[in-house]
Amino acid sequence: MIPVLEIFGPTIQGEGAVIGKKTMFVRTAGCDFRCSWCDSSFTWDGSQKHLIQRMTAEEVYNELNKLAPNNFNHVTISGGNPALIKSLDSLVRLLKIQHIEIAVETQGTVFHSWLNEVDDLTISPKPRSSGMNQSLEQLDQFINSTKAVKRRSLKVVVFDEDDIEDALIYHKRYPDIPFYIQVGNPFLNESVENHRDYLLSRYEWLIESVMNDERFLNVHILPQLHTILWSNKQKV
Ligand SMILES: C[S@@+](CC[C@H](N)C(=O)[O-])C[C@H]1O[C@@H](n2cnc3c(N)ncnc32)[C@H](O)[C@@H]1O
Ligand SMILES: Nc1nc2[nH]cc(C(=O)O)c2c(=O)[nH]1
Ligand code: SF4
Ligand SMILES: [Mg+2]
């Protein structure tokens, strides 16, 4: 059984290497991290425990079809940390049989073999502002174990200058993996006035900081497109 917190879409992938792509989302419950600025803390802080459904792969697939009949060919699995869940192998198998592309978002702490079957794997190690002290040895192991994935990318969320230094550590450690820097969203409460102006000014700050830093060459600098549009609303 897969612990599912929400299934939604179609929407756009708002982050990373496939930003803008039309996709469905399956969000699993539970995380091994507790990032201070987690925009999905409801997956692990107990506040939406009553909404967690234990579903089979077939039930998840039926729900996706109910939400978007004949209107999706791409599913993004996020969380929480979906990589904690061994039983996602059944969903990955089922989606592949149906010729549906699969993307996964994870922080790179825990590996299961089904990860090697996904099409787009986003690995998002954490900078110090998260309060997490991510093990580089564990991340090395994860990176080594996922070499067979069709497309992999690294995505580091940045809130301040110290985080930029941490992003550089990850970029230098894995120079051959496409590298994305994403501006942090401090507005975890969905209704904030002028969130767009503020988020865009933070994005501008990040572009200026990284563009003028010759230690970064092969880098993509991105906002969270969906939070510019909809702030930190759930199910978008
Ligand atoms: C909610 S996490 C779920 C997947 C996995 N646990 C992870 O962290 O990669 C999905 C992505 O959102 C990013 N994220 C979380 N909170 C954020 C925030 N406040 N601002 C910007 N990005 C954030 C994470 O770093 C990660 O790249
Ligand atoms: N539109 C949209 N794009 C996203 N990209 C990554 C997300 C996530 O929470 O993992 C996310 C999300 O929650 N919504
Ligand atoms: S690893 Fe991802 S889901 Fe877990 S607390 Fe951090 S941002 Fe949130
Ligand atoms: Mg999100």
208-226: average pLDDT: 96
Q: Which of 107, 132, 142 to mutate to test the pocket of ligand 3 (most atoms within 8 A of CB)?
A: 107
Q: How remote is the CA of residue 98 from the centroid of ligand 2, in Å?
A: 23
The whole-angstrom separation of Cα 5 and Cα 54 is: 9
Residue-wise pLDDT tens digits, 131-159:
999 999 999 999 999 999 999 999 999 99
Taking Cα atoms as reference points, which of 4, 21, 72 lies closest to residue 226? 21
Q: Which domains does the chain have, with CATH numbers?
A: 2-230 (3.20.20.70)
Nearest-CA residue for ligand 1 atom 27 is: 124
What pLDDT, on a 0 to 100 scale, did the predictor assign at position 192? 75
Quote the tokens at residue 230: 């909809």
Mean pLDDT of 94-118: 98
Strand order in the sheet with 151-158: 53-55, 2-12, 22-28, 74-78, 101-106, 120-123, 151-158, 179-183, 219-222
The reply to whether ligand 2 has any atom less than 6 angstroms from the CB of 225 is: no
For ligand 4, the distance from its centroid to the CA atom of residue 118, given in whole angstroms, is: 19
Which of helix, strand or coil describes residue 222?
strand
* Cα 224 to ligand 1 centre (Å): 10
- The amino acid sitting at 144 is N
Q: Is 79 in the pocket of ligand 3 (CB under 6 A)?
A: yes
Q: What whole-number distance in Å separates Cα of residue 214 and Cα of residue 206?
A: 14
pLDDT at 23 over 90: yes
Length of the chain: 236
Share of the chain above pLDDT 70, in %: 100
Mean pLDDT of 116-130: 98
Q: What is the pLDDT of residue 100?
A: 98
**CA 27 – CA 17 distance, rounded (Å):** 19
Instruction: Give the mean model confidence (pLDDT) for residues 74-83.
Output: 98
Question: Tell me: the pLDDT tens digits for 159-215?
Answer: 999 999 999 999 999 999 999 999 999 999 877 788 999 999 999 999 999 999 999
C-beta 6 within 6 A of ligand 2: no
pLDDT of residue 158: 98
Nearest residue CA, atom 21 of ligand 1? 184
CB of 232 closer than 6 A to ligand 2?
no
What atom of ligand 2 comes closest to residue 79's alpha carbon? Answer: 10
Average pLDDT over residues 118-141: 98
β-pairing, 2-12 vs 22-28, is antiparallel
What percentage of the chain has pLDDT greater than the value 90? 97
Ligand 2 near 81 CB (within 6 A): no
Q: Is residue 13 over pLDDT 90?
A: yes
Residue 79 annotated as lining a ligand binding site: no
pLDDT at 70 over 80: yes
Helices 57-67 and 88-97 pack at an angle, to 10 degrees, of 50
Question: Which residues does a 6 A CB cutoff place in the pocket of ligand 1?
Answer: 31, 37-40, 78-81, 105-107, 124, 155, 157, 182, 184-185, 224
User: Two tokens at 102?
Assistant: 């699969």
Q: Is the ipTM beyond the 0.85 threshold?
A: yes
